[in-house]
Amino acid sequence: VVLAAGACRSGGDIPMVDGPLAIEVRYPAAEPVAVTDSVSVWGSVGSGRATLRVNGRRVPVAPSGGFAAFVALPAGDRPALELEARLGREVARRTVPVARAVAGDAPAPHPVPEPATGWVRVRRLPDPALDSATLARPVFARWTPGGALAIPLPQGVLLPAEARAGDAIRLRLARGVAAWIPAADAEPAAAPAAAPVTLRALRITPGAGRTVVTLEAGRVLAGHVEAVPGRLRWTLYGATAAPGSAAAAGGVVAGAELRDAGGGQVVVDLSLRGAPLGWRVTWVAGRQRLEVREHPAPGLAGLVVALDPGHPPLGSTGPTGLREDSVTLAVARDAARRLAALGARPVLTRTDPLPVSLDQRLAVAEAADAHVFVSIHVNAPGDGRPPESVDGTRVYWLDPRTLPLARVLKDSVAAGLGQVPVATVQSSLAVLRATWFPAVLVEGTALSLPAREALLRTPQGVAGYAAGVVRGVLAWAAGPLP
């Protein structure tokens, strides 16, 4: 069954590797794995001519010497995989203990919330292990402790505490609206003199490629922005406003209306002259500020394309040791060359093998005023899933306006790599939370499968992935705007 569907166009030209017999296992590693009755195992035996058995069961060896299989785990608390490779009269054996993640490792059930009182300031403590982009990012509140993402809270915002549960704290945003953050990200603060904050003086200022909507506000507020066809809705919490305040049209904004929704919520409804490319909320010099970006002119000329070579830190490793972060950097560099030749302005969020945080990657793209952000990855299965489960091309997205980009990239990267276009998947991965530009994350193919790893080792594999990225961006930039 292994690779039956994937004995793909690219499978025929895996270069033969015929080194000495040596068993290397890339997965499972020493860390506990969350598995039930079967486990993925992938690695190399050093030669494409060797044969391999895992717990007595024959596992195919690719011409590269790589293998990947999903095998039954022996019963017991400390199961092990017995690998036996043969090449001619030589035999190599290796025992791989599987550290099973036990039920006790599961997160504890939520403690019962206890009431809390007083105000807090949301802020992240300085930490020498974190870069400045990570320290500056908003604190993402969640609807339940550690649960689904709610809204980003800007650092410095003052909010009343409602409840505590374990190491989480619930903050009231408005009547009937509350969200949780880690208690470590909040410090006690004096109640503000003015609560709620009165918002006034709605202003619209058109600029090059963006329109700025501002409101006079006594201090920074929590808020969020939703895109609905033809409109943007900007909700601010802990605020009140005089009714019926409106501002004249400007730039991409055809009109704006300020509305007190009651209970501490103020809504700014913006009607737009076209779909926005993105937006950004800041608090500058006593004003809440929402910048709304227009789509650039169709085509690649002048388009700033942020290419994000996934990892390090972390990242997966293929059966014969090809690292995800070296594949993603090679693909991003190749795609950047192609985009520059077509008149676009590519920006790489990482240019060497050193680790770059997710927030720093977004900060680089934002500083460059990127029009679009494409994170480049290759896949490996999570614990308890077979290697083939991540074959094919998947593209992850979060905001619905990014879905057209995700769709074209799924098809173009799949075509470039000779893969099956599997799915576009909604996800709240950190890089997908960007709002200033559409951001998607591409998992081109499965690095954990020997045939795919061998393809990605070749210049053709890297070029195929890169050309697929470029064709997708080109189709998105040229196509009818959403």
Question: Which residues of this protein are in contact with Zn ion, per CB under 5 A?
Answer: 310, 377
Question: Quick one: DSSP state of residue 104?
Answer: G
Side-chain half-sphere exposure of 80, counting CA atoms within 13 A: 8
Q: Give me the residues paired with residue 36 across strands.
A: none
| Reduced 3-state DSSP string for 286-347 | CEEEEEEEECCCCCCCCCEEEEEECCCCCCCECCCCCEHHHHHHHHHHHHHHHHHHCCCEEE
Nearest CB to Zn ion, comparing residues 144 and 351: 351
**Smallest gap from residue 162 Cβ to Zn ion (A):** 37
Q: For residues 234 and 396, which CB has a smaller minimum distance to Zn ion in the complex? A: 396
Which of 26, 377 has the CB closer to Zn ion? 377
Closest distance between Zn ion and the C-beta of residue 447, in Å? Answer: 9
CB of 332 to Zn ion, least distance (A): 13
Choose between 264 and 310: whose C-beta lies nearer to Zn ion: 310
Least distance (Å) from Zn ion to the CB of residue 371?
A: 23
Nearer to Zn ion, 48 or 387 (CB): 387
Buried b (16+ CB within 10 A) or exposed e, 145-156: beeeebbbbbee
How many CA atoms within 13 Å lie on the side-chain side of 418? Answer: 18
Provide the terminal-to-terminal Cα distance of the chain, rounded to the nearest Å: 41
Closer CB to Zn ion, residue 223 or residue 310?
310
CB of 457 to Zn ion, least distance (A): 17
Alpha-helical (H) ranges within 26-136 are 132-136
Q: How far is the CB of 314 from Zn ion (least distance, A)?
A: 7
Cα–Cα nearest to 101, from 59, 82, 73: 73
Q: Which residue is nearest to Zn ion (CB)?
A: 377
Going edge to edge, which strands form the sheet with 51-54? 57-59, 51-54, 80-87, 90-97
Task: Give me the least distance between CB of 191 and Zn ion, in Å please.
Answer: 45
75 φ/ψ angles, rounded to the nearest 5 degrees:
-70, 165
